[in-house]
Structure 1
Amino acid sequence: MNSRAFSTLQRSSITKLIFQAKPIRIHRGYTASLLNNIRKQQFPPNIKYVHNSPKPVPALSLPEQILKYNKEWAKNKTKADSSYFENMTAVQTPEILWIGCSDSRVCSDVLTGSNFGRVFTLRNVGNSLSTTDTNSLAVIQFAVETLKIKHIVIVGHTFCGAMEAAFKYNSLNGPISDWIKPIADLYNKNKPTIDALPTHKQQNQALSELNVKRNVDIINSLDIIKKTKKSGKELNIHGWIYDIENGSLQDLKVS
């Protein structure tokens, strides 16, 4: 009998012995033919228990990942400074109101390297203000009257989706259409100048800068701002643009 035939007979015998045995634990050490049967889930009646590797743990969903990260973050903060969160319970004393875009790439605390409690923030689509928007007006009033902030910064950014929406305003509907309309009107008013720019990136940025200036004008027109400035209290208005490509903030020199 040659070695190949013996090998085949050997595998057959081993497989037969295993199938005739009492209920057993099957693992990778058994023959290729048996493993093939295992993969196909084909077992004689006396094979009642097949050992499988532990099922892989399902990947965490994004909300679960965030909650897990939060626990680790809080633990590490406390480990580094046991009084960190206790100190956070003190009254906040920010000096800046940041009015920025809701874009997930433009987070004020991250791009300014600020610690908690330094920047009071209002974010919405297109870093825009409206004299009929109670939410925005309430934030500004609270910032000026209660927090006594000294600077209000309107921050636009490059590659802004709100500017893209303004370019395609006729395709919009619902609440976003109402919200973007002032930006679309701004684009139409400056369309020849904006459209003459050589790249779409430049067109988007140009409209974003004009929108910052528009909102600086709205801020300055509010009674609460006029009243505060007239009283002699320090209150400065700024217009900035954030460049997503290089992470830099640029002062547009408007106030």
Structure 2
Amino acid sequence: MIEELLKGNSQFSETVFKKNIDQYRDLVTGENPKVFWIGCADARIQTGHITNAPPGSLYIHRNMGNMAPNHDWNFAAVLENAVVHLKVGEIVVCGHSECSAIRALDEDLQDAYIPLWLSDAREAKKRVDSCIAPPRTPNEQQERWKQIEIENIRLQIENLLNFPLVKQAVNKGEIKIYGLYYDLNTGRLSRIV
């Protein structure tokens, strides 16, 4: 696979990069993204492609289940850089359909790290399960997972607002926060929050 990636990069540098050389040269001088995008690490979702966003416009953090955890130094450092230094004007939490992280909430995983990581989404599952009857059909199960995926977006926005630097920026009107949901079946983003 590495050879395919290198071949793909060679094609990119000879076509897209050369065709847009001025745009890419501008990116060398520094980054000035407008949006901090928190998305899932799922390999089926390529953020720049699904938004048709040009290089440099999105500052992206991806992790399993599009989490905004209050206990993760990596996430906190990226968030701080986005808000304090890059001065993004918008933060997006983007969840998606068919999310394996959300589905894993129903499994008794014996992994060392995944169950710990997923603890930041358990509240979304709990909220949904308290409002609906247990699913009896595959369609009802699909709908339940979708509701948990969407509730997890809301939950992660709540987590973001627990960071004092985010809460302060929101209160000052310096940042707006949005929740988006990407449907793998249609290729469409929809606004949740």
Task: Say whether residues 1:203 and 2:144 are aligned partners.
Answer: yes
Q: How far, CA to CA, are the matches of 1:226 and 1:181 in structure 2?
A: 23
CA contact (8 A) 2:95 2:182 kept: yes
Q: Specify whether residues 188 and 227 from structure 1 end up closer, same or farther in structure 2 by C-alpha distance, changes over 3 A only.
A: closer
Q: Paired residue for 2:2?
A: 63
Q: How far, CA to CA, are the matches of 2:90 and 2:126 in structure 1?
A: 31
Return the letter of the residue paired with 1:190: V
Structure 1 outlier segments of 4+, above 6 Å? none
Deviations 1:223-250 (A, max 9, x none): 00122234x3421011111111001111
Q: Paired residue for 2:64?
A: 125
Q: Paired residue for 1:238?
A: 178
TM-score, L = length of structure 2: 0.90
User: Percent identity of the aligned residues?
Assistant: 23
Q: Paired residue for 1:142?
A: 81
Q: How far, CA to CA, are the matches of 2:32 and 2:127 in structure 1?
A: 40
Task: Say whether residues 1:228 and 2:160 are aligned partners.
Answer: no
Structure 1, unpaired ranges of 5+: 1-61
CA contact (8 A) 1:156 1:212 kept: yes
Q: How far, CA to CA, are the matches of 1:224 and 1:79 in structure 2?
A: 40
Task: Say whether residues 1:106 and 2:25 are aligned partners.
Answer: no
**SS where residue 11 of structure 2 aligns?**
helix
Return the letter of the residue paired with 2:188: S
Aligned length: 190
Q: Specify whether residues 78 and 239 from structure 1 end up closer, same or farther in structure 2 by C-alpha distance, changes over 3 A only.
A: closer
Q: How far, CA to CA, are the matches of 2:21 and 2:190 in structure 1?
A: 37
TM-score, L = length of structure 1: 0.70
Q: How far, CA to CA, are the matches of 1:84 and 1:185 in structure 2?
A: 43
Q: Specify whether residues 100 and 83 from structure 1 end up closer, same or farther in structure 2 by C-alpha distance, changes over 3 A only.
A: same
Q: How far, CA to CA, are the matches of 1:129 and 1:69 in structure 2?
A: 32
Q: How far, CA to CA, are the matches of 1:208 and 1:78 in structure 2?
A: 36
Q: How far, CA to CA, are the matches of 2:181 and 2:53 in structure 1?
A: 18
Tell me: higher relative CO, structure 1 or 2? Use CA pairs within 8 A at least 6 residues apart: 2
Q: Paired residue for 1:57?
A: none
Give the drift of 1:86.
Answer: 2.2
Q: Paired residue for 2:26?
A: 87
CA contact (8 A) 2:70 2:76 kept: yes
Deviations 1:151-205 (A, max 9, x none): 001000000000110011x233211110012323432343251634851221211
CA contact (8 A) 1:77 1:84 kept: no
Say which of 72, 97, 113 aligns to 1:175: 113
Q: How far, CA to CA, are the matches of 2:136 and 2:150 in structure 1?
A: 14
The worse-fitting range, judged by mean Cα deviation, of 69-78 and 114-123 is 69-78
Q: Specify whether residues 81 and 108 from structure 1 end up closer, same or farther in structure 2 by C-alpha distance, changes over 3 A only.
A: closer
Q: How far, CA to CA, are the matches of 1:146 and 1:171 in structure 2?
A: 38
Q: How far, CA to CA, are the matches of 2:166 and 2:124 in structure 1?
A: 24
Return the letter of the residue paired with 2:109: S
CA contact (8 A) 2:128 2:147 kept: no
